[in-house]
Amino acid sequence: MRKKKRKYFCLFVAPGFGGIMVFVLVPFLDVVKRSFSTAATGQFQGVKNYLAIFGNQAFLLAVGNTLRFTLVCIPVLVLAGLVAALSLNIFHQREWAKSLYLFPLAMPTATVVLVWKLVFYPRGFFNLSLTRLGLMTGLWGEVAEDYLETSGAFWVLVGSYVWKNLGYTVVLWLAGLRGIPAGLLEAARTDGAGAWQRLWYIVLPNLKGSLYTIVVLSFLNSFKIYREAYLTAGAYPHKSIYLLQHLFNNWFVNLELDKMAAAAVCTGGVLMIASLALQRMWAGGDSREGS
């Protein structure tokens, strides 16, 4: 009986495992191999590609911008999603609001980019609103700032990321909130605990699982913002939003595949280490609470 179950288990797992091998593991190993070789001849050259990328100013700029973007976006997205979820959890009948938060996820990237262009271009909605306000108050004249060509482009990109990804964050927070026993909150209320005390001592400690999932997904999704940045500002945008994906694209166009492979290996390694560190941190926190 056990052999039969094992056989069915292997047959069930085999297609997925085979797909991972063919489409993920084998290509990644090929990238690792290319990172130690020349692009033209494939000749082994040791760590020269890695030394080249770490001495490349464009690579260092892209790494710094990507890190800054991630460190800014994740806390903003986590807090905004939590506030929205707590608000929706209080007003149980606001189903339309949940759909409103999820709407940006269903929008194609090109549509999202068009919206941001209409808002932030020199003759966009934002500048027109500022101009009208300035003329009405007499404090300033016409405003025609191209925000996508200034350091403000970074905050435009942050806003785009948070706006598009807020929906799934709210859903995950709501799932965690609905998992908290109502009797626990009612008992705390009976004992005289106020709203802030219930939030701090009961609600937030029970949302650690949701927080871990949201942080990991937000971290990985922060590396997928390239389409918005590229379609908004092109291959060579303002330096504040020049991300790793811009550099990879430019290296690919210039056929500098050896540098691109080395940078991809470094990026993959950082993502893996960060994910494992987050998992270990959460597991360590749970074990300390259990003891």
Q: pLDDT of 249-281, one tens digit each?
A: 888 888 888 888 999 899 888 888 988 888 888
138 close to 90: Cβ distance less than 8 angstroms? no
- How many separate domains does the chain show? 1
Structural domain includes residue 226: yes
Which pLDDT value is given to residue 113? Answer: 79
Average pLDDT over all residues of the chain: 82
Provide the CATH number for the domain around residue 158.
Answer: 1.10.3720.10
Reported in sequence order, the residue ranges of 147-209 that DSSP labels E, i.e. its strands, are: none
Structural domain includes residue 213: yes
Compute the distance between CA of residue 22 and CA of residue 285 in angstroms, rounded to an integer.
36
Which pLDDT value is given to residue 132? Answer: 76
C-beta pairs of 120-125 under 8 Å, 24+ apart in sequence: 120/147, 120/148, 120/156, 121/146, 121/148, 122/146
Structural domain includes residue 34: no
pLDDT, tens digit, 9 for 90 and up, residues 32-87:
998 999 887 888 888 899 999 999 898 899 899 999 999 999 999 999 999 988 88
Q: How much is the pTM?
A: 0.81
Q: Which domain holds residue 60?
A: 43-282
pLDDT, tens digit, 9 for 90 and up, residues 210-252:
898 999 899 888 888 877 788 777 777 888 888 888 888 888 8
Structural domain includes residue 4: no
Structural domain includes residue 291: no
Structural domain includes residue 185: yes
Structural domain includes residue 146: yes
